[in-house]
């Protein structure tokens, strides 16, 4: 326990520490946190360019930085999500074409 903090705050911080320690075990390559950001940014840029510049690019950039800063993923995990996101976008386009024909 940290001296001078309320028991509730101490309990919160101890549980947060346990959660952060345990989360390192579950995060894998590639980072789909970043993959979803890439896919969202792609479609925002393509269909809602105003929102891309105002919302999705800044928020997505902050989320990507936070993902690495908070040690949820390594930088290579973000790089690895690029081809996965690109393949997802490509396959989604193919699937949509198949459904409309």
Q: How many domains would you assign to the chain?
A: 1
DSSP assignments along 12-75, one per residue: HHHHHHHHHHHHHHH--SS-HHHHHHHHHHHHHHHH-HHHIIIIIHHHHHHHHHHHHHTTSS-H
List the domain range (segments joined by +) for residue 37. 28-100
92 falls within a domain: yes
12 falls within a domain: no
pLDDT tens sequence for the chain (101 residues): 556 667 667 677 777 777 666 655 557 788 888 999 999 999 999 999 999 999 999 999 999 999 888 888 888 999 999 999 999 999 999 999 998 87
80 falls within a domain: yes
Contact 73, 33 (CB under 8 A): yes
């Amino acid at each position: 326990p940290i001296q001078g903090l309320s028991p509730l705050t101490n309990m919160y911080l101890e549980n947060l520490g346990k959660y952060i320690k345990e989360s390192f075990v579950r995060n894998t390559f590639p980072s789909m946190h970043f993959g979803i950001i890439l896919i969202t940014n792609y479609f925002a840029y393509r269909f809602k360019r105003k929102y891309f510049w105002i919302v999705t690019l800044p928020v997505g950039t902050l989320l990507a930085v936070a993902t690495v800063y908070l040690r949820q993923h390594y930088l290579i995990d973000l790089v690895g999500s690029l081809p996965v996101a690109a393949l997802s976008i490509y396959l989604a386009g193919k699937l949509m074409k198949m459904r409309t024909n």
